[in-house]
Structure 1
Amino acid sequence: MTQLEEGRSYLLKSVDGDKKAVKRAHEIFSSLRGEAAGNALIEAYYGSTLALLGRDATKPIEKADFAQEGLDSLNKAISMDPNHKEIRLLRANVCLHLPDSFFQCSPIAIEDYSYLLQQYKKNPNYLSKQQLKEMHQELRNAFAQIEQSDQAKHVLQQLKELAVK
């Protein structure tokens, strides 16, 4: 297993609440980030681990600092490679799980999902049916967080239509 695959494996465990896995994923992506400076995907995974460290921190200031550092890394990764599907999915997921009352990043998640949907419209093989279903649920959550029910209905209708094709 490569370090990237190992890091991804720990990250998945981290998302499910494994605090030891968060630390291990962060170690792996920190190391990879040092070895492969300028790699957008590594930067995005590193940012995701920072956000998870924030989730698990006990002090409010640490939570906020880790989360902000994670967002900064994810934004940097997008600026390095704005068309990378996996990076867009990582950033959208992090943005949706941060408190919108503090970070106001639901619109960023909506932007990322909208971009991914545009790519899917051009190429129906771009996203799996499972990814499309998850985007449906996550977009609903994002629009609920910013209280835009009309826009949510419109986008969700588009997603349903795409899922049928």
Structure 2
Amino acid sequence: MTYQKGDWKKDFEEAVKLHQKAIDGDQQAAKKAFDILKKIKLQAMNHSIVEAYFGSSSALIARDHPDLIEKMNLAKRGLKALDKAVKAEPNHTEIRMLRANVAYRLPEMYFKRTKTAIEDFQFLISDYEKKKTDISKDQYCEFLLNLGSSYQTIGDSKNAENTWEKLLKINSGKYKKLVEQARKTGGE
């Protein structure tokens, strides 16, 4: 796969579709997305959204990898790419969503990235509340749920409860059980 300037976008769209399948648990899709993004990344130098999806795909492969050392290396590579993308474009909603979700799902004990997840979820929630983005109400509610869980993970019960109460005022039907479950598990 060799690309002329800008002609990688169709393959990028395919990689994004595969990435979504990987999020839903398809291990083969994770590997395919990673391989496509790795090639695109070589052609689309310093393209933040490509870097972010590459980082997230790396983390998805890490999730499913059987070898613990390789799992750690892939996760660290993914975080490095996501941090690079956010640094290049700190106000890019999609990049922040990708990093927030990766940082949120990594075990705090090993990666110490819950504060990054909190920062990104706060950014996304603020953007939604200021009507700056096209984040859906469902995504907004998920961000509130995950932000509360992130606070709980770092031992900030007050902010966790405040965040969950805000969520329950918006949509208690769908999230009541999820909040109760998060309260019981202590966040992580």
| TM-score above 0.5, yes or no | yes
Q: Deviations over 1:91-138 (max 9, x none)?
A: 000011111110011110110011122222322654211111211221
* Structure 2 match to 1:119: 127
Kindly state the Cα deviation for residue 160 of structure 1 after the two structures are TM-superposed: 5.3
The answer on whether the counterparts of 1:54 and 1:62 sit within 8 Å (CA) in structure 2 is: yes
Alignment of 1:54-93 (within 5 A): 54-93=62-101
The answer on whether the counterparts of 1:119 and 1:126 sit within 8 Å (CA) in structure 2 is: no
* Structure 1 match to 2:53: 45
- In structure 2, stretches of 5+ residues that fail to align are 1-8, 172-188
TM score, norm. by length of structure 1: 0.90
TM score, norm. by length of structure 2: 0.80
State the alpha-carbon separation in 2 of the partners of residues 38 and 85 from structure 1: 18
Task: Please say which of residues 66-75 and 145-154 is displaced more in the overlay.
Answer: 145-154
- In structure 1, stretches of 5+ residues that fail to align are none
1:132 lines up with 2:140 in the alignment: yes
State the alpha-carbon separation in 2 of the partners of residues 162 and 122 from structure 1: 16
- What is the Cα-based RMSD across aligned positions, in Å? 2.0
The answer on whether the counterparts of 2:125 and 2:144 sit within 8 Å (CA) in structure 1 is: no
The answer on whether the counterparts of 2:124 and 2:143 sit within 8 Å (CA) in structure 1 is: no
Q: Percent identity?
A: 36
For 1:83, the aligned partner's letter is N
